[in-house]
Amino acid sequence: MQYQFTPYALLPLCTVVVEAMLAYDTWRRRGDPASMPFLALTFLVGLWSFGNAFELSSATAATAFFWVRIEYIAIVLVPVVWLMMMLAFSERRTILSHTWVVSLLLIPLITTAIIWSSAAMSLFWREFAIETLNPLTVIRVQRGPWFWAHTAYSYLLLAGGTFLLIRSLINTPGLYRDQSLALLLGATAPWLVNVLYVFGLIPEAFPDPTAIAFVITGLAFSWAIRNAGLFELGPMAYREVIQQMSDGMMVLDPLNRIVDINISAAHAFDLPVDQLIGQPFKKVTAKWPSLIDRYSDLLTLDRSTNMEIGIQNNGELLVYDLQVTPLQGPRGKLNGRMLVWRNITVIKQAMAQIQHQNERLENQAIILQEAKVSAEAGSRAKSVFLTTMSHELRTPLSAMLGYTDLIQYDLAENDTDALNKDLANIKYAGEHLLNLIGGILDYAKIEAGKMKLNLSTFLVQGIVVEALASVRPLVERNANRLDLEIADNLITMHADPIKVRQVLINLLSNAAKFTQSGVITLRVSVIADAHANQSTVNSQPSAIVFEVIDTGVGMTEGHLSQLFQDFTQVVTSPRGQIGTGLGLSLSQKLCTLMGGQITVKSKPGHGTTFTVTLPEHVSE
């Protein structure tokens, strides 16, 4: 390679020096998302200018052509990096996925391959020659079709990035507008010169001055970094969100001058945003001298601070939550402070009211707790009373029933029908009273937590037949018919047989009492285990369902809501029939004790259906 000295080569070398200084300053501020594309841009511009300096100093065509190829490595990539930097600067970098980046680099890569390929180079330059104009070398080329495709693509990317920059310039006040202006000036200078050169508006006696024009770019960008705070306080990372905030927000520089402020904060000072930017903080808050004297030390701290402050406004105390956050650079340098305040007057007033209400509720809770203790004591007393009375009444009733059996046996041979009928009524009344007393005793045991289950495996059909036999006289007394429907695959269950029979008798007796000349059906079925293997033929049921269905008077929704309440009697018959208020409640408690439940469906005039669901195998 042969070279010749020319003073014109010093101009692009100056650009290299300026870009190196920019790269150093940018690297120190690399915490900003837009700094890395900017760093890449400075490197590419420096490479372009470096190659241009050696191109101007070349003494032969081969040497000049080599450095032109080096320059084009940077030339094809600069528009792509410019667009990426503007997307990052305007907080729109997320739209560039990896696929889009690869797509943007496709034409630059093809262009580089064509330039470095001897066979395809004619697509870019049909002719390439140098002309020595002492003391510099000028390239003379005849451009091919791909050159114009590359140029159009590059100008499109540059225009897109510049459009984003102009938008930020329009929408951004104060210090950020100075940043945008500097970037716009630095970007416009070289591309304006390039357009003039490409389209022959510069005399052909001059070499391509684009690389030299980057001196203006470097100086503009350097001013933006050093004087306009570029990459220090962030470009516009939160512009839209901040302006829509209801909270006041202000950013101060290290000298406590306002460099950014949102609309809510500007309203607090009764001034427009553009008049507040650049003003000292103490000047715009001069109408609150006592506040500044009290909290002036907050603007000297190097750590985040959060506190509540009070301001008197027209005789009203306004309370604000104030947060002061230092803004530090990558090396811990203090770049400024951010103040955010929120009016919490309403919240503080509401909290005071809530505290007052809490005190009232705590007092009421104490009263309710005392009432609860009294109620629990009364409940325990009730259980003790029921248990004692049940035992006292059960003994003479049992003796009375025993003597009634003896009298019936002795008189059987004399055929005294009237006497037997009276004695039968006495026995029926005694059995009913005994069942009632037994129910009270069972209820008291459940309430006291002393009810025990005597579990065993028994035939379901046997328990059902016993229950039907017990209630058959009552069923026939009201001219009812008693039907039984039982599943064929139902054999045994493991539960407390006495409790199961007691529940069935309670439900059947209740149905017989409130049904006249109707039908009472006991339907027994099984529910297969949903998790059982469906292919297993001998799989056991997981639950047994007893349904007591009558055609009686039915019940309203109001009656149903009270049905299982303790000691509550529901009147449903026109003849005034009433329940004892204990049987259904006791039946429900017994089913719950065995892990089952009772549900009911009823409609006035259409009968009632009670459904008892019990586990096939009741656990201990």
CA-to-CA dists, residue 558 to 554, 571, 607, angstroms: 12, 11, 15
Render pLDDT for 8-54 as a digit per residue (tens, 0 to 9): 677 777 777 877 877 777 776 665 556 677 778 788 888 887 887 78
- Looking at CATH, the fold of the domain delimited by 453-615 is given as Heat Shock Protein 90 (3.30.565)
The pLDDT score that the predictor gives to residue 518 is 92
Higher pLDDT, 5 or 42: 42
The CATH class of 349-444 is: mainly alpha
Report CA-CA distances (Å) from 134 to 8, 59, 297, 580: 11, 10, 68, 126
User: What dotted CATH number matches 7-226?
Assistant: 1.20.1070
Residue 86: CB partners within 8 Å, gap ≥ 6?
160, 161, 162, 164, 165
Distance from C-alpha of 40 to C-alpha of 42, rounded to nearest angstrom: 6
The Cβ-side half-sphere exposure at 501, using a 13 Å CA radius, reads: 19
Which tens digits make up the pLDDT trace of 110-149?
Answer: 988 988 888 888 888 877 776 666 655 666 777 888 988 9
Print the SS3 string covering 22-90.
Answer: HHHHHHHCCCCCCHHHHHHHHHHHHHHHHHHHHHHCECCHHHHHHHHHHHHHHHCCHHHHHHHHHHHHC
Q: Which helix (H) or strand (E) holds 527?
A: strand 519-528
Please say if the pLDDT value at position 155 is more than 80: yes
pLDDT at 73 over 80: yes
**For the residues 168-176, what does the mean pLDDT come to?**
57
| Residue predicted with more confidence, 334 or 330 | 334
Residue 469 has pLDDT above 70, yes or no: yes
From 525, 524, 518, 517, select the one nearest 467 (Cα to Cα).
Answer: 524
Low-confidence winner among 88-97, 243-252, 464-473, 555-564 (lowest mean pLDDT): 88-97
Whether the ω angle into residue 135 lies within 30 degrees of 0, i.e. cis, is yes
Distance from C-alpha of 231 to C-alpha of 34, rounded to nearest angstrom? 7
CB contact set of 399 (below 8 Å; sequence gap of 6+) = none
Task: Tell me the CATH number for domain 239-343.
Answer: 3.30.450.20
Comparison of pLDDT for 581 and 309, the residue scoring more: 309
Which residues are CB-contacts of 545 (< 8 A; sequence separation ≥ 6)?
A: 524, 525, 526, 527, 611, 612, 613
> In Å, what is the CA distance from 339 to each residue of 247, 297, 304, 541?
10, 14, 10, 70
Token code pair at residue 148: 């114009």
Residue 547 has pLDDT above 90, yes or no: yes
Give the per-residue SS3 of 290-352.
HHHHHHHHHHHCCCCEEEEEEEEECCEEEEEEEEEEEEECCCCCEEEEEEEEEECHHHHHHHH
Say if residue 513's pLDDT is above 60: yes
Q: If you ran DSSP here, which 8-state letter would residue 617 be given?
A: B
The β-bridge partners of 319 are 310
Q: pLDDT (tens digit, 9 = 90+) per residue, 192-211? A: 777 777 776 666 545 666 66
Burial of 342 (0-12, 13-18, 19+ CB in 10 A): middle
What mean pLDDT is predicted for residues 462-477? 88
Query: How would residue 546 be classed by pLDDT, with cut points 50, 70 and 90?
Result: very high
Mean of pLDDT values over 225-251: 62
- Examine the pLDDT at 420 and tell me if it is beyond 70: no
Work out the pLDDT band at 403, boundaries 50, 70, 90. Answer: low
Dump the DSSP string for 224-246. HHHTS-TTTS-SSTTHHHHHH-S
Which DSSP state fits 514?
A: T
Q: Where do the structural domains in the chain lie, given as residue ranges? A: 7-226, 239-343, 349-444, 453-615
Pairing of strands 481-486, 305-313: unpaired
Reported residue count of the chain is 620
Whether the CB-CB separation of 570 and 562 falls below 8 Å is answered with yes
pLDDT at 535: 42
Rounded (10°) angle between helices 174-198 and 210-226: 180
Q: Tokens 């008197």 label which residue?
A: 312
Task: Write down the pLDDT at residue 95.
Answer: 64
Using 50, 70 and 90 to split pLDDT, how confident is the model at 579? very low
Structure tokens at 248: 């006041």
